[in-house]
Amino acid sequence: MARYFEDFTVGDVYQHPLGRTISEADNTWFSLLTMNTNQYHFNAHYAQGSPLTGGRMLVNSALTVAVVLGLSVVDISQTAVANLGWKEIQLLHPVYAGDTLYAESLVRHTRESRSRPYAGIVTCLTRGITHRGDEVCRWERTVMVYKRDAPHDKGHFPTATTGPLRPPPQ
């Protein structure tokens, strides 16, 4: 369920419903797509010499942040007008291929937008954890979201040329 500004209450905690297992292919693709040439992300032979990873390839930390952010969208920013900022992104524990990431967020602050009457500002603390419970990252994010009566996110679903779906006759 998409949340509008009126649905956020300071102190609410959302355990976002989906998890995402990171594969080696995800990590290699993301690292190379984003031009991250640190070989710990895509070269198993090179990673074997790492004193910090036990010889395993590290998941690119930008991928970790992107996945945790994406997991939070359903509850925090499905109705976003714009992301306004992130503060203090902390990377707390390494992530490896095969780890499943989950996310949860705490609503820290809300206020109505002073310049856009159709929106409000929500600030949340979000963290990512693995299936083992390791906290891998956290940050504070501020996002502008629509109010329930804003017209901007309504009426975008197309009308089928074959007409609406109807239940079968009884």
8-state DSSP, 115: S
pTM above 0.95, yes or no: no
| Per-residue pLDDT at 146 exceeds 90 | yes
User: In this structure, which topology does domain 5-146 adopt according to CATH?
Assistant: Thiol Ester Dehydrase; Chain A (3.10.129)
68 burial level (CB within 10 Å; 0-12, 13-18, 19+) = buried
pLDDT of residue 164: 87
Kindly state the helix (H) or strand (E) to which residue 110 belongs, with its residue range.
strand 100-112
| Per-residue pLDDT at 77 exceeds 90 | yes
Q: Measured on CA atoms in the order 78, 94, 23, 18, is the torsion positive or negative? A: negative
pLDDT of residue 102: 98
Cβ(122)–Cβ(130) under 8 Å?
A: no
- pLDDT 10s digits, 116-128: 999 999 999 999 9
| Per-residue pLDDT at 2 exceeds 90 | no
Report which of residues 143 and 156 the model is more confident about: 143
Amino acid at the residue 1: M
Angle CA(97)–CA(102)–CA(104) in degrees, nearest 5?
A: 150
pLDDT of residue 50: 85
Q: How far apart are CA 112 and CA 125, in angstroms?
A: 19
- pLDDT 10s digits, 19-60: 999 999 999 999 999 999 888 888 889 989 888 888 898 999
Cβ(116)–Cβ(52) under 8 Å?
A: no
Residue 157: strand, helix, or coil? coil
